Chains A and B, each alone.
Chain A
Amino acid sequence: MPRFLKEFFDRNGLGIGSLMLGLVLFWTIGLIILPQLSMLDFSFRPNLPPPEIGGPKDVYTMENYKYLVFGPEGGSQDYNAVDLKVFYRTLVAAIFVTIFNLILCYPIAYYLAQTKGNHIRIFALMLIIPYWINEILRAFALRIIFGETGVLNNLLVAAGIFDTPFDFVRNDIALYAGLGYAYILLMIFPIYNVIESLDRNQIEAARDMGASWPMIHRRVVIPYAKPGISSGCTMVFMLSAGALAAPQILGGPSSLWFTQLIYQQFNDNSDWPQGAAYAVVLLVTCILLVLALMRVFKVNMGDIGK
């Protein structure tokens, strides 16, 4: 038995220890790994009617993956331009949302972490309470705000800033706002957590030596907050790229999110293998992208958990 397991059982006793271990294993293996493996398996199989499953035609194939790149066999185009473009745009937009979120949340997190007093609790509560409302309602609320006859347009037109209402939905502004808003807390809290443990004297020391505020952030606060920033960015990026409700409700009519394509394959086309292949591609690409960026910014895996 490895040492950490032995220690675990020594500490918790055999009964409780086995129960806890069993639950954790059931959670990771039963509820996460196995279903994902079956999705992976799906993605390499043809879409067959139920009687033919397990029959001679049920063989492993790259067909579903080829479809994403090249489109239907004998199709008019060399590449599946539509789906690839959606895929690419989803990733770029998710990165954009992540950056936007970081720029928005870093100052908030810094302020929350470095200010003392009761009003900070109220501020934090005001950030949390909107999340009691479910995602769909929040998305529709944003529609009310950003719609052509929405609150924002009424205000802007009344104030004379715009002559005619601006279509925030068609221009994807509503979508980005919705996605940004949806994961604000996931960005704020990891950063807040790290900055809160930063000794205020370090900031004052830098200031005392003549550093400007941008310099203090660049050399003292941000390097210190890096683990929090990376874990926040990772979560926001993964969840934005995988979001469904916000794009569905707030996306313009012509802009599809890649998750919507996956959803269509599963639901509208009843093509589970095709949907699974798309989902696998999205997942793997996101993970690779995150790992690559972690390497660029010299972040360790262990830091993400902070």
Chain B
Amino acid sequence: MSAGVGVDLENLWIRFGDFVAVRDANVHIKGGDFFSFLGPSGCGKTTILRAVSGFLDPSEGQVLIGGNDMKGIGPNKRPTALIFQNLALFPLMKVWENITFSMEIKGASAKERRKRADELLDMIALPGQGDKLPSELSGGQRQRVAIARALCAEPDVLLLDEPLSALDLKLRQHMRTELREIQQRVGITFIYITHDQGEALTMSDNIAVMRAGVIDQIGDGKTIYNDPSTAFAASFVGENNVFRGTVKQVQGDKALIATNRSGDLLARISTANQGKMKAGDDAMMFIRPEAFALAPAGTQGDHFVTATVTNEEFEGNSFNIFMEGEGGKEMKVSLPNLGQSFDSHKGQPMTLQYDVQNAVALPAGDLATE
């Protein structure tokens, strides 16, 4: 079964004058994938999308769609449809005209177009709204019209540039599910751009984590979250606690790290860095808030951390405990609510343990700044 049209970026460089916006990107997106580019604002995500849709020529390297080199093929000739960050609906056209603009270009009759518009309006749950102007719809409805307009062109690849960023939180979460459903129904490749790791994790089959024009890691959500390959990916995706130090000893696939303030701690070396870390290297170790468990007070060892509790938050199903961390930053620990209380711990030291499999050792690198 052929599952749609894939997209490949081969050694892709994009420069604006001296500024390198995309540096040697190599990405292989399978047909029918929901693929996300995840990275902070300004890291080059839109630039990549514009190169795929054909609005921008790569300075070097290739964009292949369905295995065909797209060099010299304009945006109007590519099997892609782009949903813009600001949607770019045509304000003077009615909703149904907006949706079927791609058919109008091909010369379809008004009757045909009307029929197709009604089908698509049903699909996006806006039946009977075709005669309105975009300005008469709510933000979420406009969002769906933009999706319908892009799908009407029957693209092989749908490109979405932070399409949910203008919506409020509730709607955004609802639209995540809806987008994912639409993608599974139409079965085409979605390339999705976002700076919101929650969006990327919930919707995507695969994610590329980007930092300042460079792709740090590509993998499915679980891999990116559990097995980051750079310090940036570890700190950008989800919450993470960082421990800085140097590698004291490599033990198979694990490293013992002499941390700056918590003694020697053991962590699993991330898959991408196996065999690349050696004693004496600057290293960082990451442990997620939920990977900690309470340990008997004062226990010492290579998977125990003791620190002073500065604050606590009760979240219903869990407690967030904030402890003295590194460099003025707090360490966050989430403990499930099992009926216990931590009230008396404020200002007191607390000892925690973790499973070495859940601690990731990485070469020292830039962290994401929030």
Contact = CB atoms under 8 A, between A and B. Distances in A.
Given A201-B88, A220-B90, A223-B92, A208 B101 contact: no
B88 A209 contact: no
A220 B91 CA distance: 9
Given A199-B86, A204-B55, A210-B105, 6 more contacts: A202-B89, A207-B74, A209-B149, A209-B153, A210-B76, A212-B76
17 contacts: A199-B88, A201-B84, A201-B86, A204-B88, A205-B82, A205-B89, A206-B90, A207-B76, A208-B55, A209-B81, A209-B102, A210-B76, A210-B102, A211-B101, A212-B76, A215-B105, A223-B92
A204 B90 CA distance: 11
Contact of B84 (A204, A211, A224): A204
Nearest to B76: A210
A206 B55 CA distance: 12
Interface in B333-358: none
A303 to B, nearest CB: 12
Interface residues of B, number: 25
Interface of A: 199, 201-202, 204-212, 215, 219-220, 223-224
A54 B81 CA distance: 78
A208 B75 contact: yes
A217 to B, nearest CB: 13
B22 to A, nearest CB: 19
Contacts of A208: 53, 55, 75-76, 80-82
B77 interface: yes
A212 B101 CA distance: 12
A206 B88 CA distance: 9
Chain A: interface secondary structure? helix
Interface of B: 53, 55, 74-77, 80-82, 84-86, 88-93, 101-102, 104-106, 149, 153
Given A199-B88, A212-B76, A224-B92, A206 B101 contact: yes
B77 to A, nearest CB: 7
Contacts of A219: 90, 93, 101, 104
Name which of A201, A205, A210 has the most chain B CB atoms within 10 A of its CB. Answer: A205
A201 B162 CA distance: 14
Given A202-B88, A204-B84, A209 B53 contact: no
A220 to B, nearest CB: 6
B104 A204 contact: no
B86 A210 contact: no
B76 A205 contact: no
Nearest to A206: B101
Contacts of A212: 76, 105
Name the 3 nearest CB pairs between A and B, nearest first: A201-B88, A209-B102, A205-B88
A202 B81 CA distance: 13
Contacts of A206: 90, 101
Contacts of B76: 207-212
Contact of A207 (B75, B90, B91): B75
Contacts of A210: 76-77, 102, 105-106, 153
A209 B149 CA distance: 9
Contacts of A223: 92
A195 to B, nearest CB: 14
Name which of A201, A204, A209, A215 has the most chain B CB atoms within 10 A of its CB. Answer: A209
A223 B102 CA distance: 18
Contacts of B55: 204, 207-208
B101 A209 contact: yes
A6 to B, nearest CB: 31
A205 B92 contact: no
A11 B220 CA distance: 62
A211 B90 contact: no
B53 A211 contact: no
A204 B106 CA distance: 17
Contacts of B85: 201
A202 B92 CA distance: 11
A212 B74 CA distance: 11
A205 B85 CA distance: 11
A127 to B, nearest CB: 28
A46 to B, nearest CB: 54
A202 B80 CA distance: 16
Contacts of A207: 55, 74-76
A57 B299 CA distance: 123
Contacts of B80: 208
B105 A211 contact: yes
Nearest to B55: A204
Contacts of B81: 208-209
A211 B81 CA distance: 12
